């Protein structure tokens, strides 16, 4: 409700100028508060505190202000309630509570949007600080208000506060600024503050030795001051007048004023005016030689002075207590912050160590992976080196050395198991002619093709080796002569069927085969090779492209020129046919002739 807000503002403005109008405005606001927002209701509640303070119902005022501070929807309302609360605590001389309230609101000063409200807070702070003897802080807050182009009323309040602070600090204000403060406060209708300004001016004049002027300054406004009914101010006035009158030698006027000061200060627990008035009365009695009265006055002076001294000290103490408490609080906060930082550090260390252990695991994994990889690669290299060492690079068949070792192992196993094994040896026919006619590359192609063609006769357990040049051998475990003959003949047929177009030439490839078995030749490889080689020799002599088995009962062949199996043949096979032969005739052999 914008209307409600406007009426709240209007009521607030009436507060100092028109007490009756203010009361009426509050009544009207109460009647229409049903439609107000929570924040507006809180503001209204705050306005209701002013009449409570005027009435002197401080206990209710304090309760209400505390409630408003707790419920305030805006910083401004909370701040204003806090400033009023600090003021009320100052009036009721609860300095510690007042200072604590300041500690709550002053840090919010920067967030307060309304300048008047902020100045109200600074003024409350300045008044309280001066009361607890912290005049430096009082002056600082007065200057804060004056630096921010305050309203005329706040300028009066701040000007007064400044004079009070300077007096407390023992600094003498110049007459011009004293007059300015008086004019300022008079223009806004603040007779109490005008009165206090006049006491500062009078003190300043008296200190300069201008006693008559000081008296004149005070007496001019005396009636107006008495009309305020403010005991502390009236007491001050009379006490000062008593002191100054006596200084001028007017003892009877001095006595009158001193008595008036005492009468007005009677309701106060302690006051500087009481001390001053009793001292003046003592001095008068002393000057009169009335020792009894002098002693009595001195005793009264002494009691008032002690009370005042205690009061000042207890106020100063209140400040020290609150300061100590807030320091302690700050230290606790700092300690908590440190503990927090420590916890955060510990957390980070923990995270770091988790990260480190993860990193460690990763490193370990990498090392293991590397070792495994290295082992696999080493194994592969070993295997490929072994393959290179064991196989013939051109054809991929086992080389002679490996074939020998493999075969010897297989034969030993067969012998142990009492199983048969057969050895087939074969040699390409007229290979030299292929080389000569079609080139070495064509010859290589033939060798590879022959191995590729014959490999199917071998199982995993069998050994297929290139004994040298164009001579090959196959050791077949578990085969007897019959099955070996069949396999050898299959091989012969396959070789004879090779289509050489792929090599770039068309020619015919055939091979001659010699066979023996363990039943015929025993389990010794050298003997088996020798017997197979002899059968092969017979196949060549028999016209090539045929399979011949060694005849176990045939007498050993006579020495021939042919080189041992595997070495390149140097002999002309045609010439060999002229050699005397001890071999059985072709018909005696168990082999079969085929092909060309």
Ligand X SMILES: Nc1nc2c(ncn2[C@@H]2O[C@H](COP(=O)(O)OP(=O)(O)OP(=O)(O)O)[C@@H](O)[C@H]2O)c(=O)[nH]1
Q: Which two tokens stand for residue 353?
A: 């160590």
Report strand pairing: 471-477 vs 511-517: unpaired
C-beta of residue 196 within 8 angstroms of C-beta of residue 240: no
The 384-403 contact track toward ligand X, x by CB under 6 A, reads ----------x---------
Compute the distance between CA of residue 404 and CA of residue 525 in angstroms, rounded to an integer: 8
Starting from the edge strand earliest in sequence, which strands make up the sheet with 471-477, in order? 463-468, 471-477, 421-428, 511-517, 547-549
Environment class of 163 (CB within 10 Å of its CB; exposed 0-12, middle 13-18, buried 19+): buried
- Pattern of binders to ligand X over 188-207, x per CB under 6 A? --------------------
CB of 412 to ligand X, least distance (A): 31
- Given the complex with ligand X, which of 558 and 568 has the nearer CB atom? 568
226 vs 157: CA distance, rounded Å? 20
Contact status, residue 138 vs residue 168, Cβ threshold 8 Å: yes
Spatial contact of 496 and 410, defined as CB atoms under 8 Å apart: no
Q: Which is nearer to ligand X, 265 or 399 (CB)?
A: 399
3-state per-residue secondary structure call for 409-459: HHHHHHHHHCCCEEEEEEEECCHHHHHHHHCHHHHHHHHHHHHHHHHHHCC
By C-beta, is 294 or 473 nearer to ligand X? Answer: 473
Q: 10 Å Cβ neighbour count for 332?
A: 10
Say which residue the tokens 């309701």 belong to. 267
Smallest gap from Cβ 472 to ligand X, in A, equals 12
Q: How far is the CB of 511 from ligand X (least distance, A)?
A: 9
Task: State in angstroms the smallest separation of the CB of 407 from ligand X.
Answer: 21
- Shortest reach from residue 431's CB to ligand X, in Å: 3
Q: Examine residue 145 and tell whether it contacts ligand X (CB under 6 A).
A: no
State the Cα–Cα distance between residues 158 and 555, nearest whole angstrom: 146
* Chosen residue from 95, 403, 431, 472 binding ligand X by CB under 6 A: 431
Least Å distance, CB 563 to ligand X, is 9
The nearest distance, CB 490 to ligand X, in angstroms, is: 21
* Shortest separation between residue 549's beta carbon and ligand X, angstroms: 19
Q: How far is the CB of 427 from ligand X (least distance, A)?
A: 5
Taking the complex as a whole, how short is the minimal distance between the CB of residue 405 and ligand X, in angstroms? 22
- Nearer residue to ligand X within complex by CB, 305 or 427: 427
432 touching ligand X, by CB under 6 A:
yes
> And the tokens for 555?
């007498």
The least CB distance from residue 573 to ligand X, in Å, is: 3
Burial class (CB in 10 A: 0-12, 13-18, 19+), 312: middle
Contact call for residue 508 and ligand X (CB under 6 A): no
Kindly state whether residue 425 participates in binding ligand X, applying the rule CB under 6 A.
Answer: no
Comparison of 26 and 447: residue with beta carbon closer to ligand X: 447
Among 430, 486, 505, 579, interactor with ligand X by CB under 6 A: 430
Task: Please identify, using beta-carbon distances, which residue of 319 and 537 lies nearer to ligand X.
Answer: 537
One symbol per residue from 335 to 374: x for binding ligand X (CB under 6 A), - otherwise; what is it? ----------------------------------------
In 3D, which of 194, 235, 237, 197 has the Cα closest to residue 215?
237
CB of 277 or CB of 509, closer to ligand X: 509
How many residues at the interface with ligand X, by CB under 6 A?
Answer: 19
Identify which of residues 278 and 537 has a Cβ nearer to ligand X in the complex: 537
| Cα 525 to chain centroid, rounded | 78
Q: How far is the CB of 586 from ligand X (least distance, A)?
A: 18
451, 491, 575 from 431: Cα distances, Å = 15, 17, 17
Q: At what angle do helices 440-454 and 481-496 cross, to 10 degrees?
A: 140
Instruction: Closer to ligand X by CB, 432 or 527: give it.
Output: 432
Under rule CB under 6 A, residue 470 binds ligand X: yes
**Does residue 76 bind ligand X (CB under 6 A)?**
no
Q: Is the CB of 63 or the CB of 440 nearer to ligand X?
A: 440
Verify binding: residue 240, ligand X, rule CB under 6 A.
Answer: no
Q: What are phi and psi of 593, to 5 degrees?
A: -95, 145
Question: In the complex, which residue's CB is closest to ligand X?
Answer: 443
Cα three-residue angle 272-278-282, rounded to 5 degrees:
145
Instruction: Phi first, then psi: give them for residue 4, nearest 5 degrees.
Output: -65, -40
* Whether the Cβ atoms of residue 202 and residue 240 lie closer than 8 Å to each other: yes
Beta bridge partners of 511: 428
Question: Please, are residues 157 and 193 in contact by the beta-carbon 8 Å criterion?
Answer: yes
Q: Is 537 in the site for ligand X (CB under 6 A)?
A: no
* Region at 559 (left for phi over 0; alpha for psi -120 to 50; beta for the rest): beta
x/- mask, ligand X, residues 438-457, rule CB under 6 A, reads: --x--xx--x----------
Establish if 543 lies at the interface with ligand X (CB under 6 A): no
Task: Return the residue of 73, 168, 396, 469 that touches ligand X, per CB under 6 A.
Answer: 469
Site string for ligand X, 557-576 (x = CB under 6 A): -----------xx---x---
Q: Which stretch binds ligand X (CB under 6 A): 128-136, 421-429, 481-489, 545-553?
A: 421-429
Instruction: Kindly state the smallest distance separating residue 531's Cβ from ligand X, in Å.
Output: 18
At residue 515, the 3 state secondary structure works out as strand
CB of 546 to ligand X, least distance (A): 12
Question: In whole angstroms, how close is the CB of 525 to ligand X at the nearest point?
Answer: 22
Contact status: 48 vs ligand X (CB under 6 A): no
Contacting residue, 64, 190, 221, 429, with ligand X by CB under 6 A: 429
Q: Please tell me the distance from the alpha carbon of residue 22 to that of residue 10, in angstroms, as a whole number.
A: 9
The reply on whether position 243 binds ligand X by CB under 6 A is no
Closest CA to 484 of 545, 534, 548, 531: 548
> Which of 66, 167, 435, 483 forms a contact with ligand X (CB under 6 A)?
435
Give how far the C-alpha of residue 115 lies from the chain's centroid of Cα atoms, to the nearest Å: 42
Residues of this chain that interact with ligand X (CB under 6 A) are 394, 427-433, 435, 440, 443-444, 447, 469-470, 540, 568-569, 573
């Amino acid at each position: 409700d914008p209307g409600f807000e406007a009426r709240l503002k209007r009521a607030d403005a009436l507060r100092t100028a028109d007490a009756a109008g203010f009361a009426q405005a509050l009544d009207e606001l109460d009647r229409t508060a049903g439609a107000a927002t929570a924040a507006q209701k809180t503001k209204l509640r705050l306005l209701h505190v002013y009449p409570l303070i005027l009435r002197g119902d401080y206990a209710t005022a304090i309760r209400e202000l505390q409630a408003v501070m707790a419920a305030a929807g805006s910083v401004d309302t909370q701040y204003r309630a806090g400033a009023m609360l600090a003021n009320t605590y100052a009036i009721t001389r609860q300095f510690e509570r007042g200072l604590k309230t300041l500690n709550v609101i002053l840090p919010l000063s920067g967030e307060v949007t309304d300048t008047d409200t902020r100045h109200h807070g600074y003024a409350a702070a300045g008044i309280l600080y001066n009361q607890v003897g912290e005049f430096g802080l009082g002056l600082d807050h007065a200057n804060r208000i004056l630096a921010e182009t305050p309203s005329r009323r706040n300028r009066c309040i701040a000007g007064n506060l400044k004079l009070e602070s300077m007096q407390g600090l023992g600094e003498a204000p110049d007459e011009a600024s004293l007059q300015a403060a008086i004019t300022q406060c008079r223009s806004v209708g603040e007779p109490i503050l005008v009165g206090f300004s006049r006491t500062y001016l009078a003190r300043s004049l008296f200190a300069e030795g201008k006693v008559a002027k000081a008296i004149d300054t005070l007496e001019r406004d005396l009636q107006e001051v008495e009309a305020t009914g403010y005991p502390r101010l009236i007491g001050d006035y009379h006490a000062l007048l008593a002191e100054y009158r006596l200084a001028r030698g007017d003892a009877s006027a001095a006595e009158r004023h001193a008595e008036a000061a005492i009468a007005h200060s009677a309701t106060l627990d302690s006051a500087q005016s009481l001390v001053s008035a009793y001292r003046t009365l003592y001095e008068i009695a002393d000057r009169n030689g009335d020792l009894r009265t002098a002693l009595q006055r001195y005793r009264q002076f002494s009691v008032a002075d002690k009370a005042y001294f205690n009061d000042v000290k207890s106020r100063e103490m209140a400040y020290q207590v609150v300061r100590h408490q807030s320091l302690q609080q700050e230290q606790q906060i700092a300690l908590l912050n440190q503990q927090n930082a420590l916890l955060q550090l510990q957390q980070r260390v923990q995270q770091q160590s988790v990260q480190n252990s993860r990193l460690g695991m990763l490193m370990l994994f990498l090392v293991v992976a590397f070792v495994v990889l290295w082992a696999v690669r080493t194994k592969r290299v070993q295997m490929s080196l072994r393959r290179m060492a064991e196989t013939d690079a051109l054809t991929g068949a086992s080389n002679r050395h490996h074939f020998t070792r493999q075969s010897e192992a297989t034969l030993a196993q067969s012998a142990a198991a009492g199983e048969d094994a057969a050895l087939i040896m074969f040699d390409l026919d007229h290979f030299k002619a292929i080389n000569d006619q079609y080139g070495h590359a064509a010859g290589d192609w033939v060798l590879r093709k022959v191995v590729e063609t014959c490999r199917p006769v071998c199982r995993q357990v069998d050994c297929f080796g290139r004994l040298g040049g164009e001579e090959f051998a196959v050791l077949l475990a578990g085969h007897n002569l019959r099955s070996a003959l069949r396999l050898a003949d299959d091989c012969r047929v396959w070789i004879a069927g090779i289509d050489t177009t792929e090599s770039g030439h068309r020619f015919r490839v055939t091979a001659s085969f010699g066979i023996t078995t363990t039943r015929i030749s025993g389990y010794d490889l050298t003997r088996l090779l020798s017997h197979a080689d002899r059968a092969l020799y017979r196949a060549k002599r028999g016209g090539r492209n045929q399979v011949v088995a060694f005849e176990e009962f045939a007498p050993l062949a006579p020495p021939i020129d042919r080189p041992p199996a595997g070495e390149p043949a140097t002999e002309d096979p045609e010439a060999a046919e002229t050699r005397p032969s001890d071999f059985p005739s072709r018909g005696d052999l168990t082999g079969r002739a085929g092909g060309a």
